[in-house]
Each structure stands twice: as structure tokens, then as C-alpha cells.
Structure 1
Amino acid sequence: MKIGLYFGSFNPIHIGHLIIANHVANNTTLDQVWFVISPQNPLKNEISLLNEHHRKHLIDLSIEGEKKLRTSNVEFKLPKPSYTIDTMAYLSEKYAQHAFSIIMGSDSFSNIKRWKNFEMLLKNFEIYIYERPGFKVQVTHGARLTILTAPLLEISSTHIRELIQLKKSIKFLVPDIVKEEIERHQYYS
């Protein structure tokens, strides 16, 4: 089975994340797209990070019933901070019957040289890149890249958290079920 791993904090999951995952699932030869929740991204500040189990639950609610979309808590069990190369090596060994690839935006790809053992990632794994405005993809180090033009929305989790802090509506930015769960548990308040 060909599985694309869509890494992120998903703090919280929003419509933009879901559109990208669904677009990749529908427009590539991948059998499934897994949301890999990063408990701690080494390149991001974790001050406003909701507990990883709560973030996973919000994604699970968002994709319920979708056959090609899954969540993965693999990084919850691995040493922190999470490094993509370590996660890819772990999954490739544990699930040798699957072929894993990485899904990322061209903005993230522009920083790939800052990633731990990025040369091994580029050499050993196919990467699906959805283009973001202002971040042209530079093919490098013989990487196996598939460039996608996915529908993008200018929505950020940071903005959603700010709206919650200001007690403003997040309707239409996140699935209704996620909005209800955030309000019920007062996440990010």
C-alpha cells in the first residue's frame, strides 16, 4: 500500500488542512493519506500547543468515514522533539509492506536543508509537494518530487487560536464538529 504522510502540529486541524489531504488522496496514486500529529516540532514554539491526544481526537472527528484519510499517533511514542527522518525510518521498518512518502507545502520544502538528515529523506522517500504562493520548488539532491497544484486557503491555526482568544467565531474555518468540540472543552481559551 502507498501511504502519504502529512506531518503537522494541526493545532487545531482546519478546513485548509483537510482540503489539501483530500486533494492529495484524490489526485495521486496514494492509497491513503495519514495525518501524522507532531507532539513537538523542533522548528516551532510549543507554548500554545494543545495536548497531542486532543489534537488527534479533533482530526479523527474531522475525517470520520473517509476511507483514504487516517490519523497516526506514531510520533507520540518516539523521542521528542520529532524528526521526520526518525519517523520515516521507524515506519518503514515497522510496516515494511507499505511504501511511505511525505506530503508537504513548498514553504516547508524551502526549509528542507534545515531538517535533520534531509539528504536521506530526499534520497529514500518520494515527496509530494503542494505549491504555496511565493515558494517555487527548487529540485535538489536528486529528489523524487511530485509537484501538485492543490486548492489553498489562507487559513492558519495561529489565526484560529487568536480568534478563540478574542471570543470570535471560527465557524467555516474548521469543521462544525471540531468547532463544537473546541467550545465544549474550552480549548485554546
Structure 2
Amino acid sequence: MGYPFPYVAPGQVIGLLGGSFDPAHEGHAHITREALKRFGLDRVWWLVSPGNPLKAQGPAPLAQRMERARQVMQHPRVDVTDIEAQLGTRFTAETIVALRARHPGVRFVWLMGADNLAQLHLWQDWQQIVETVPIGVMARPGQRISARMSRAAALYAKYRIPGRQSQLLGYADAPAWCFVNVPMTDVSSTAIRAAGEWSS
């Protein structure tokens, strides 16, 4: 059945934070609030994925993860969605194409932690992603160096917007990316599952 698509108006800047959220936790909520402040976003949509193609084991049921995500992320400018399940997209590149077709005139920004930037070159059609939407990268504990030395960072080095100008990201034309250091929490979904506080 799915949840209603969030309302969006042409000209708005929408940050997209994708993931399995298995489970969602305060770290996800924290980087979302930081992204709203740092990148000049009007709203952020959480894209709770049906499953992560890079992970061998499947996540907890989507409805269970959606419910937890909505408990964790309560903010007037953040929408928790199951958009990928509704669109039938499996990969980020497909999702971005579908959203841009569905919402012409809306400016989308892909959001990720620095750990994802470090492995971005493993993603399906990753260069298409970089060249379609601006990307906002937020540093997480222990990932600063590997992300900055990553293949994606090297290949698109000249398109990097300095952190002090991060508010420009939402209005930049792709390729464009910005790396900001934010105070991070060390909590992780993996640790929560390992502690037996969440069952997939």
C-alpha cells in the first residue's frame, strides 16, 4: 500500500537520505538536522529502502523499519518515506531519475555519510549519480581520511564546494559536492543489532 508521497513545491531544495535504517537511531536524526542547517535545504526525505543491494543479509520488514524511523525522526521539515518501494527502484541512480521525472523544478541533493563516499565507486551507475544531483557529505567518526582519499573524491575534486560555502550546495549544478565536518554520535545500526536491541 505504502505511505503518501510527501508534498513538494517546484523550486524547493530537498535533501535525500537513503538507507536501510535497520534500525533508525539518533545518529541518523542528528546528521539530518545538521544537513538541514549546513546545506540550505528546505526539507529532507528519508528514503527507507526495501533492501540494500550491497548487503548480503536482508533487513527487518519495511513496515517495522518505517515505524521505528518515524519514532526516531520527528521534525517538521523531515519526511520518512518508503518512496523506493513505491517506485519499484532498487538502486540510488534509478531512484534519482524517477524522482526528477516525477517532480520537475524541484532541486534534489543526495546526502551521505563520509563512509558512503569512501565506497561510492562500488555503487551501480555511481558517476551518473554524481553528475545528476549535488551531494552533501557529512563526516562520521573514523571516516574522514578514507573518504577524502576515495576514488570519487579524487575524480571529482575540482567540483568540491568548500565547507564554509556549504549553503550554496542546494543551488549548485551537478557535479557538485561538499564535505562538512559535524559533531558525530558513535551509535550505529550494526551496534544496536549486535546488542540484541533490534531483530532483523
**TM-score range relative to shorter protein:** 0.7 to 0.9
Deviation at 1:139, TM superposition (A): 4.2
Structure 1 counterpart of 2:176, one-letter code: R
Which amino acid in the other structure matches residue 136 of structure 2? Y
In the TM superposition, 1:86-97 aligns within 5 A as 86-97=94-105
Instruction: Give the corresponding residue for 2:169.
Output: none
Alignment pair present for 1:74 and 2:83:
yes
Give ranges in structure 2 of 5+ residues lacking alignment. Answer: 1-11, 160-174
Q: How does 1:59-138 map to 2 (within 5 A)?
A: 59-64=69-74, 66-79=75-88, 82-132=90-140, 133-134=142-143, 135-137=146-148, 138=153
Please give the alpha-carbon distance, in whole angstroms, between the structure 1 residues aligned to 2:100 and 2:71.
27
Of 7, 13, 20, which residue of structure 2 is paired with 1:9? Answer: 20
Is 2:173 the counterpart of 1:140? no
Q: Contact between 1:9 and 1:38, CA under 8 Å: does it hold in 2? A: yes
Deviates more, 1:137-146 or 1:82-91: 137-146
Aligned 8 A contact 2:136 2:179 in 1: yes
Instruction: Please say if residues 25 and 69 of structure 1, whose CA atoms lie closer than 8 Å, have aligned partners that are also in contact.
Output: no
- Distance in 2 of aligned mates of 1:29 and 1:139: 25
TM-score (norm 2): 0.76
Which moves more between the two structures, 83-92 or 148-157?
148-157
Q: Which amino acid aligns with 1:118?
A: W
Q: Which letter does structure 1 place at the counterpart of 2:32?
A: A
Percent identity between the two aligned chains: 25
Query: How many residues in Structure 1 have an aligned counterpart in Structure 2?
Result: 165
- SS of equivalent to 1:6: strand
The AA in structure 1 aligned to 2:106 is: H
Secondary structure at the aligned position of 1:16 is classed as: helix
**Could you list the per-position Cα deviations for residues 78-125 of structure 1 after superposition, in whole angstroms to 9, with x for gaps in the alignment?**
446x20000000111111131111000121111111111111111111
What CA distance in whole angstroms lies between the structure 2 residues aligned with 1:136 and 1:13?
A: 23
Aligned in 2, Cα 1:163/1:36: closer, same or farther, shift over 3 Å? same
In 1, the alpha carbon distance for the partners of 2:185 and 2:99 equals: 30
| Distance apart, 1:5 and its partner CA | 0.4
